[in-house]
């Protein structure tokens, strides 16, 4: 049983470019959340998707957008990249009814030059 998978593992972009990150949730999970983790900090909540809808959003600008597909996989899109967007982007999944436990993927390390 595969856990949460993310692609790509690493990515290098330049300022102003756009990026798309992908996530496949753990089998049986229907809810996907995205987090941004800067070096030495805790993960920061970006948004959560359930039934292909954005259910909740953190304090991130509209440059950050997402999508969930019918198979529960998800994408995170970031437009007009800034140097400060350099971080580890984590995807986490949970099943309906799961309480505090979320399963995290290995993350995508984004570097913006």
- Count Cβ atoms within 10 A of the Cβ of residue 100 and give its class: 0-12 exposed, 13-18 middle, 19 or more buried: exposed
Rounded Cα distance between 72 and 94, Å, is: 11
Minimal distance, residue 72 CB to another protein, in Å? 15
14 counts as binding another protein under rule CB under 8 A: no
Minimal distance, residue 80 CB to another protein, in Å? 25
Rounded Cα distance between 52 and 71, Å, is: 9
110 counts as binding another protein under rule CB under 8 A: no
Q: Do 90 and 107 meet the contact criterion of CB atoms below 8 Å apart? A: yes
Contacts to another protein from residues 37-76, by CB under 8 A: 40-45, 48, 50, 55-56, 58
Residues that bind another protein (CB under 8 A): 4, 31, 33, 35, 40-45, 48, 50, 55-56, 58, 90, 92, 94, 98-107
């Amino acid at each position: 049983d595969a856990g949460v998978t993310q692609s790509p593992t690493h990515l290098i972009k330049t300022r102003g470019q756009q990026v798309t990150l992908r996530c496949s949730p753990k089998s049986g999970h229907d809810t996907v959340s995205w987090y941004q983790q800067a070096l030495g900090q805790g993960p920061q909540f970006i948004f959560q998707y359930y039934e292909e809808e954005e259910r909740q959003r953190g304090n991130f600008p509209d440059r950050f957008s997402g999508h969930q597909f019918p198979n529960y996989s998800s994408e995170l899109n970031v437009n007009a990249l800034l140097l400060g967007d350099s971080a580890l982007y984590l995807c986490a999944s949970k099943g309906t009814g799961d309480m505090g436990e979320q399963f995290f993927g290995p993350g995508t390390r984004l570097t913006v030059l």
